[in-house]
């Protein structure tokens, strides 16, 4: 009887392990998962480009990024090459926006409140400012509110949370990416620039910024061993 009971327990354990593996989302397991693509060397290679006195050096981390992925299973949901290009595109825009994860907040961001008063659905808190914060420099009251509602923080009254909680900070970047950028990836890297800051940078608006993003993207694609594809500029 004791032997039969032991066999049942072992069988139960095996089933639990199998089911647990099946429930792990595809973007955090497998040979071409984000965990495998965004290695310590890849992430720290970006972070190490920032100056030692940068605030982001002690704020952004690979662990915080990977933790934030739990809410965004569709990030990196294509083939192996598509996965690598999405990671390269995401971090290329992040590196440009933050100067290689140096900045948590927009430089001189406090000089503007970025309150869109025409958006009556999200009235601004007069004591808060909605300047760029986080890996993709989340900006404006309506984005803070929408991101907060999706992620679970008070973006309207506590926008500074994006600059004090590294996991939430990365979640806002992934929220913006999945809401506005992910769906245009098949149009080429240039489409990601247009989705993020096209009104200011594209069509000759700021060719230096566009080239900066492209340079990061091609660099990361080379590191990951994937062709960057067509339509790099906007």
Interatomic CA distance for residues 201 and 208, integer angstroms: 8
Q: Under a CB-based contact definition with an 8 Å cutoff, are residues 229 and 188 in contact? A: yes
- String of b and e for 110-143 (b: at least 16 CB within 10 Å)? eeebbbeeeeeebebbeebbbbbbbbbbbbbbbb
Q: Which residues neighbour 54 within 8 Å (Cβ) at sequence distance 6 or greater?
A: 99, 101, 102, 103
Catalytic residues: 97
Distance separating alpha carbons of residues 153 and 142, to the nearest angstrom: 14
Nearest-angstrom CA–CA distance, 47 and 188: 25
The helix-helix angle for 207-224 and 40-47 (nearest 10°) equals 150
């Amino acid at each position: 009887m004791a032997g039969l009971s032991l066999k049942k327990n072992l069988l139960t354990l095996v089933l639990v392990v199998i089911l647990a593996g099946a429930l792990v989302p595809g973007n955090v397991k497998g040979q071409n998962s984000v965990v495998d693509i965004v290695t310590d060397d890849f992430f720290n290679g970006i972070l190490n480009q920032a100056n030692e006195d940068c605030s982001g050096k002690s704020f952004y981390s690979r662990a915080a990024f990977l933790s934030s992925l739990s809410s965004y299973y569709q990030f990196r949901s294509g083939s192996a090459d598509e996965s690598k290009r999405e990671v390269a595109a995401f971090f290329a825009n992040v590196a440009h926006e933050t100067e290689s994860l140096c900045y948590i907040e927009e430089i001189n961001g406090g000089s503007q409140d970025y309150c869109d008063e025409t958006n009556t659905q999200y009235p601004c808190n007069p004591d808060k400012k909605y300047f760029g914060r986080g890996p993709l420099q989340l900006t404006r009251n309506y984005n803070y509110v929408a991101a907060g509602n999706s992620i679970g923080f008070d973006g309207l009254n506590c926008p500074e949370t994006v600059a004090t909680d590294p996991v939430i900070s990365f979640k806002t970047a992934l929220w913006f990416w999945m809401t506005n950028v992910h769906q245009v990836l098949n149009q080429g890297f240039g489409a990601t620039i247009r989705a993020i800051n096209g009104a200011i940078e594209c069509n000759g608006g700021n060719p230096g910024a566009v080239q900066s993003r492209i340079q990061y993207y091609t660099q990361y694609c080379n590191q990951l061993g994937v062709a960057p594809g067509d339509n790099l500029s906007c």
